[in-house]
Chains A and B, each alone.
Chain A
Amino acid sequence: MSHATTAGTAKTEASPTPVTPKKKPALSEGKKAERRLGWLLCAPAALTMIAVTGWPILYSVLLSMQRFDLKFPDRTEWVWFDNYVTVLSSPYWWNAVWVTVLLTVFTVAIELVLGMSLALIMHRALVGRGIVRTTTLIPYGIVTVVAAFSWRFAWTPGTGYLAEALGGDPVLTEKIPALLVVGLAEIWKTTPFMALLLMAGLALVPDDLLKAAAMDGASGWQRFIKITVPIMKPAILVALLFRTLDAFRIFDNLFVLTAGSQGTSSVSMLTYNNLIKGLNLGIGSTMSVLIFIMVAIIAFVFIKLFGTAAPGSDDGGKR
C-alpha cells in the first residue's frame, strides 16, 4: 500500500526541476508529499474525533463551572468552582464513590480469578473445545439490559425463582443485598470477557518452555506462577485495565436493578440522575468531569505501576 503511494508520488514529483536543497535535507520532496498526504488522509478521522469527543469534553468542563439548570434557564451564571464544592461536599456523592469503588474492586478481583480458571479450561479443553468456548461466552453475548431484567425478575418476590429460593425477601429494596445482587449480575456478565482476553494471553505462552520447566521438575503451580503468568502479564494488564475502567463506569445493570434507590447509586447513576432527571447540567457536568478525572487516574496508575508491561508500551499483548 505505502509502496504504491510512494512510487506514484515519486513519479509526479520527478518531472519539475529540482529546487535548491533547504536546511534539512533529510526530507526529500517525495517524503514531504508523502507526509502531507498522510496528514490529509488522517485529517477526516482526526477532525471527527475532535468534533465528537474533544468538543463535548470541553463543553462539559465549561458547563461544570456554571449554574446551568434547565429548570431555571434565566438564572444561568458563571459560578466557577462552586459546583465542585457542592458535589465534593455532598454525602450522596461520596456514598456513590464508595459504592463504585467497592463494586469495582470486588467484581474485578473475582472476575480475574474466575476468568483465569475459565481461560485455562478453554485453553486446555481436549474434548468439545467449541462447545466449552461457546457456552462460556453466552452471558457475554446477552444484551446487558435484557440480562439485568431477567436478574430483576428472578429476584422479585412472587415472580422470581431466586427470591423464592432465598425465603421470598425483597433483596433489591435494601442497600447491601441489592449491591450483592448487582455485583453478582456484573460478574456473571463479564467474566467471559475477562476469560477471552486472558485466553489470548495464554496462547502466547510457548509450549516448549512449559515442557522444559516440567523436565526440570517444576510443579504445575510453579509453572503457572513462574512461566505462564509473567509471559501473559501484558494480557492480564489489558484485561484488568479494561474491566476496571468498565466496572468503574457501571450503569446499565444498576439502572435496571435498583435505579440507584436506597443509596445504591454508582457515580454514573448519580450523574445520570442529576443530569437527565434533575435537568441540572451544571452539577451533572461537574460529576462527569470528576468521573473523567478518576478514570484518568486509574489509567495513569495502571501505566505507572506496571511500567513497560503496560498496554501501549508493549505491542506483544493483544489490544
Chain B
Amino acid sequence: MGATRRYRVAAGVGAALLAASTVTACGSDGGGGGITVNVYKYPQENFQAIVDSCNAKAGGRYNIVYNKLPREADGQREQMVRRLAAEDDSMDVLGLDVTWTAELAKAGWIREFTGSVKSQVENGTLPGPLQTATYEGKLYGAPDNTNVQLLWYRSDLVPTPPKTWDEMISMAEALVAEGKPGQIVGQGKQYEGLVVLFNTLVNSNGGALLDENGTKAVVDDKAVEALAALKKLATSKAIDPSFSNAAEDNARLAMEGGNAAFQLNWPYVYAAAQKKPEFAKNFKWAPFPTLGGDQARVTVGGVNYAVSSYTTHPDESFDAVLCLRSAENQKLAALKDGVPPTIEAVYDDPEMVEAYPMSADIKETLKNSSVRPRTPAYQNVSTVISTILSPPANIDPQATADRLRQELQDALDSKGVLP
C-alpha cells in the first residue's frame, strides 16, 4: 500500500519534470511543425549532409537532429541501454550495431516495423543485412550499412587465389617453405573479431552454435569441425606469429609490412592500401575461402536503424529512418564514408563500381552471408566465445566444444558472469 502511494508520488514528480523538459524542448525547436527527431548514431564523418538532405525533404514536418554517440562500440551501447532502461523519451532513432538488435527488441526498448514501413524497408534490401534486423520473425530495424570480410592476397606471390580453407593453408605453407613471405594474417585476438571469424567458419561448414530460437546452446559436430579448422590455421607454419594478439589493423599492417600473402579482413583495407602504390598494385581480393560447402557464409557486420519504444513521435521517426537509409543516401555514405550499402540496387550504380572495385564480390558474399547468434544475451555469448577460443592454437576441438556448450547455456540462462 505504502509502496503504491510512494510510486504514485514519484511518478507524479517524474511526470511533472518530464512535462517541463518536453515543453522546453519543444520551445527551443523554432520553426517547422516543432517536432524534433533525435537520431543517435556513432560519429560518421559525412552523416550531417544526409541529415540535412532529409530535413529539406521533410519540408518542415519534422527536424532531424544528429546526436553523436561515443566512438567506441561499448560506449555507444552503454549510453543507449542506460537511457532506454530509464525510459528516456528524448531518443527517437537509434543507430545500432547489428548484434544489439535482438537484445533491445527482447527488452521491449525498440519498436517493431509494421505495415508499409516494413515493406518499404524489406523491398530491395539484401537478405543478409535484413536478417540481422529480424528477431523472432519480426522486423525491428532498418539496415543502414553492412560489411563482410573478403580474402585479400598478393597476386605477385599467388597467381590464382585459393578456393577453400585447406587450399589457402597449404598454399601459404608452400610459400613459407620456399622462404617467401607466405604468412596468413587475420583476427585471432580475444575480442569480437575472433567471434566473427569463428562464426564464419561454423556457418560455412553448416554448423550451429545456438538453436533456431537462440534459447539453447547446440555447438554441433559441424561446429567441432570448424574448431578444428581454426586450430589448423592457428598452428600452421604459415600463420602470423602474433595472430593470437592481432585485431583488424594489426593484420592489415602485417600484410602491408610485407610478411604475408593472405589476409582475412574487411574491405577498408583496400582504401588503406592505395596509400602505398607499390603494395597496392599486387593487392587483390577474392571471396572468403570455403569450408565444407561451395561458398563461404561470411558473418555480416554493419548498422541498423531502430525506433525507440519511448519516442513520442513514432510516425515521424519511422519516416526519418526511411529517408536516412534511402538508396540515394546509402550511395552517398558508401562513396564518402566507405560503408557498404544494404540496398542491392546501389551496388549496380556506375559511380559505385568505379569507387568500389570489389563491390560485386561484396554483393555476392552478402547474398549468402551468415548472422552472429541472435539472442538478447549476445554480449555474454560473444564474451564466452572469445574467452574460450583464446588462444586459438590451444583449441582441443571436442573438449572446447563441450566447454562452449556449457558456458553458452549459462549465458543464455542469465547465469553468465561477464568478465
Give the residue name and chain of the A residue nearest to B84 (CB). Answer: A70
> Quick check: is B257 within 8 A (CB to CB) of the other chain?
no
Asked if A274 and B414 sit within 8 Å, CB to CB, the answer is no
Number of chain A residues close to chain B: CB under 8 A:
29
Distance of A284 Cα from B417 Cα, bound (Å): 9
Contact with B along A279-307 (1 / 0, CB 8 A): 11011000000000000000000000000
Asked if A71 and B103 sit within 8 Å, CB to CB, the answer is yes
B107, B108, B379, B419: residue with the most chain A Cβ atoms closer than 10 Å? B419
Asked if A277 and B379 sit within 8 Å, CB to CB, the answer is yes
Asked if B376 and A72 sit within 8 Å, CB to CB, the answer is yes
Distance of A173 Cα from B81 Cα, bound (Å): 27
Asked if A279 and B107 sit within 8 Å, CB to CB, the answer is yes
> Quick check: is B278 within 8 A (CB to CB) of the other chain?
no
Contacts between chains A and B (CB distance < 8 A), count: 65
> Quick check: is A132 within 8 A (CB to CB) of the other chain?
no
What distance in Å separates the Cβ of A67 from its nearest Cβ neighbour in chain B?
Answer: 5
> Quick check: is A260 within 8 A (CB to CB) of the other chain?
yes
Give the residue name and chain of the B residue nearest to A71 (CB). Answer: B376
A57-102 interface (Cβ within 8 A of B): 67, 69-73, 75, 82, 86-87, 90, 92-93, 95
> Quick check: is B377 within 8 A (CB to CB) of the other chain?
yes
Asked if B85 and A70 sit within 8 Å, CB to CB, the answer is yes
Specify the main secondary structure of chain A where it touches its partner: helix
B14-52 interface (Cβ within 8 A of A): none
Asked if B78 and A276 sit within 8 Å, CB to CB, the answer is yes
Asked if B107 and A93 sit within 8 Å, CB to CB, the answer is no
Q: Which of A87, A173, A278 contacts B380 (CB 8 A)?
A: A278
Asked if B108 and A283 sit within 8 Å, CB to CB, the answer is no
Asked if B414 and A280 sit within 8 Å, CB to CB, the answer is yes
Distance of A173 Cα from B414 Cα, bound (Å): 29
Contact with B along A258-284 (1 / 0, CB 8 A): 011001010000100110111110110
Number of chain B residues close to chain A: CB under 8 A:
22
What distance in Å separates the Cβ of B167 from its nearest Cβ neighbour in chain A?
Answer: 34
Distance of A93 Cα from B417 Cα, bound (Å): 8
In the assembled complex, which residues on chain A have CB atoms less than 8 Å from the CB atom of B106?
71-73
Asked if A72 and B414 sit within 8 Å, CB to CB, the answer is yes
Asked if B107 and A73 sit within 8 Å, CB to CB, the answer is yes
Asked if A71 and B107 sit within 8 Å, CB to CB, the answer is yes
Distance of A82 Cα from B415 Cα, bound (Å): 9
In the assembled complex, which residues on chain B have CB atoms less than 8 Å from the CB atom of A86?
410, 415, 417
Distance of A71 Cα from B85 Cα, bound (Å): 10
Specify the main secondary structure of chain B where it touches its partner: helix
Asked if B107 and A92 sit within 8 Å, CB to CB, the answer is no
Contact with B along A234-273 (1 / 0, CB 8 A): 0000000000000000000000000110010100001001
Give the residue name and chain of the B residue nearest to A55 (CB). Answer: B6
Distance of A82 Cα from B109 Cα, bound (Å): 27
B399-419 interface (Cβ within 8 A of A): 410, 414-419
In the assembled complex, which residues on chain A have CB atoms less than 8 Å from the CB atom of B77?
277
Asked if A274 and B379 sit within 8 Å, CB to CB, the answer is no
> Quick check: is B178 within 8 A (CB to CB) of the other chain?
no
In the assembled complex, which residues on chain A have CB atoms less than 8 Å from the CB atom of B315?
none
> Quick check: is B5 within 8 A (CB to CB) of the other chain?
no
Give the residue name and chain of the A residue nearest to B191 (CB). Answer: A261
In the assembled complex, which residues on chain B have CB atoms less than 8 Å from the CB atom of A87?
417
A82, A263, A277: residue with the most chain B Cβ atoms closer than 10 Å? A277
> Quick check: is B74 within 8 A (CB to CB) of the other chain?
yes
Distance of A64 Cα from B123 Cα, bound (Å): 46
Distance of A1 Cα from B82 Cα, bound (Å): 47
Q: Which of A90, A173, A260 contacts B417 (CB 8 A)?
A: A90
Distance of A129 Cα from B74 Cα, bound (Å): 47
What distance in Å separates the Cβ of B26 from its nearest Cβ neighbour in chain A?
Answer: 30
Contact with A along B89-117 (1 / 0, CB 8 A): 00000000000000100111000000000
Q: Which of B81, B376, B377, B419 contacts A92 (CB 8 A)?
A: B419
Asked if A270 and B419 sit within 8 Å, CB to CB, the answer is yes
Asked if B82 and A276 sit within 8 Å, CB to CB, the answer is yes
In the assembled complex, which residues on chain B have CB atoms less than 8 Å from the CB atom of A93?
417
What distance in Å separates the Cβ of A282 from its nearest Cβ neighbour in chain B?
Answer: 7
Asked if B417 and A71 sit within 8 Å, CB to CB, the answer is no
In the assembled complex, which residues on chain A have CB atoms less than 8 Å from the CB atom of B85?
70, 279
In the assembled complex, which residues on chain B have CB atoms less than 8 Å from the CB atom of A265?
419
In the assembled complex, which residues on chain A have CB atoms less than 8 Å from the CB atom of B103?
71, 279
Distance of A170 Cα from B416 Cα, bound (Å): 30
Asked if A92 and B414 sit within 8 Å, CB to CB, the answer is no
Distance of A283 Cα from B415 Cα, bound (Å): 8
Asked if A274 and B418 sit within 8 Å, CB to CB, the answer is yes
In the assembled complex, which residues on chain B have CB atoms less than 8 Å from the CB atom of A273?
418-419
Asked if B108 and A278 sit within 8 Å, CB to CB, the answer is no
B369-419 interface (Cβ within 8 A of A): 376-377, 379-380, 410, 414-419
What distance in Å separates the Cβ of A68 from its nearest Cβ neighbour in chain B?
Answer: 8
Asked if B107 and A277 sit within 8 Å, CB to CB, the answer is no
Asked if A282 and B418 sit within 8 Å, CB to CB, the answer is no
Asked if A279 and B81 sit within 8 Å, CB to CB, the answer is yes
Distance of A72 Cα from B380 Cα, bound (Å): 13
Contact with A along B47-85 (1 / 0, CB 8 A): 000000000000000000000000000100110011001
What distance in Å separates the Cβ of A22 from its nearest Cβ neighbour in chain B?
Answer: 33
In the assembled complex, which residues on chain B have CB atoms less than 8 Å from the CB atom of A71?
103, 106-107, 376-377, 414
In the assembled complex, which residues on chain B have CB atoms less than 8 Å from the CB atom of A72?
106, 376-377, 414
Contact with A along B333-377 (1 / 0, CB 8 A): 000000000000000000000000000000000000000000011
Give the residue name and chain of the B residue nearest to A90 (CB). Answer: B417
Name 5 A/B residue pairs within 8 A (Cβ), A-sorted.
A73-B108, A270-B419, A278-B379, A283-B415, A283-B417
Q: Which 5 residue pairs across A and B have the least CB separation, nearest first?
A: A71-B376, A90-B417, A69-B414, A278-B418, A92-B419
Known: A70-B81, A259-B74, A277-B379. 11 other contacts (CB 8 A): A86-B415, A86-B417, A90-B417, A92-B418, A263-B419, A273-B418, A274-B417, A276-B82, A279-B81, A279-B103, A280-B416
